[in-house]
């Protein structure tokens, strides 16, 4: 079996564009997020905003993918 890792960088117009689906409850992370108390939702949002280095403009996210191949 061989495993190859590849990284891609995605640029989004803003942090709000990135986070809006989570705030609507999209995906498992969004489902967990919407059930948090309001203060915890604000804290999570702000912590992630800081971690992503949001400065009010576009943000870049690096995502790493793993690809496996092999034969039986």
pLDDT tens-digit readout, 17-32: 999 999 999 999 999 9
Backbone angles phi, psi at 46, to 5 degrees: -70, -35
Delimit the domains of the chain by residue range: 2-69
pLDDT tens-digit readout, 27-72: 999 999 999 999 999 999 999 999 999 999 999 999 999 999 988 8
DSSP 33-54: HHTS-HHHHHHHHHHHHHHTT-
């Amino acid at each position: 079996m061989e495993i190859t890792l590849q990284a891609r960088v995605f640029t989004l117009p803003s942090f709000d564009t990135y986070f809006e689906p989570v705030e609507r409850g999209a995906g498992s992370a969004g489902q967990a997020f919407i059930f948090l108390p309001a203060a915890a939702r604000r804290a999570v949002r702000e912590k992630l905003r800081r971690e992503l280095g949001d400065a009010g403009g576009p943000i870049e996210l690096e995502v790493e993918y793993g690809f496996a191949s092999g034969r039986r």
